[in-house]
Structure 1
């Protein structure tokens, strides 16, 4: 069965995302730092950091799902984008294995009205 994909040009998303402005803890290659989130969905999220992470790097992110639990999720860096004149880098992450309960909390947040909790 084919699932609908969101076409982003160079890659396709399996799940919709919603903007989420929260602090996110990132553990990558033995280093831990805190950065901002951009958006989140069941399949992954974007983070905005001062550090450049290479595509394919594995990491662990920790954050509070709005209206839900504080979670720790394993993921992989899928894309790295730096806008001209901006010091920070936007990374697209995909989650590896995600518990059904956490997936449901993220899905609930993404599908809620835009003026609800962020």
Structure 2
């Protein structure tokens, strides 16, 4: 079998995501650090870190949902991607057992209209 093409078809997103640039607290194996988020959806999020996390590892992330609550969510590292020449690592996380109310806040953020200037509020 030709291994030059790696099919990651087993990992398909179930929910849409939206870019979210915020500080995220991460607790992994007893160590706590702060990093940036990349995207978020009801099923998970991406984080951009200085550290390489192992796929399959469990962790806890803490962050403020835009226009929502400050949350603590259990997650699993699903993917790790480090671009050559870049010191940052992008991790794909999937959430475990997320409360319906938090899921709804994330869904609201992801589906919100973004046709107004950043830093302003919508008149809708």
Q: TM-score, normalised by structure 2?
A: 0.85
Structure 1 unmatched ranges of 5 or more: 1-8
Deviations along 1:74-97, whole A, 9 cap, x unmatched? 000000000111100000000000
The aligned runs of 1:16-95 (5 Å cut-off) are 16-95=16-95
Count of equivalent residues: 110
Tell me, in whole angstroms, the C-alpha distance in 1 between the residues paired with 2:115 and 2:91.
Answer: 25
Structure 2 unmatched ranges of 5 or more: 1-6, 120-124
**Aligned-residue RMSD, C-alpha:** 1.4
Tell me, in whole angstroms, the C-alpha distance in 2 between the residues paired with 1:28 and 1:115.
Answer: 37
Q: TM-score, normalised by structure 1?
A: 0.89
Tell me, in whole angstroms, the C-alpha distance in 1 between the residues paired with 2:113 and 2:80.
Answer: 29
Find runs of 4+ consecutive structure 1 residues off by over 2 angstroms.
114-118
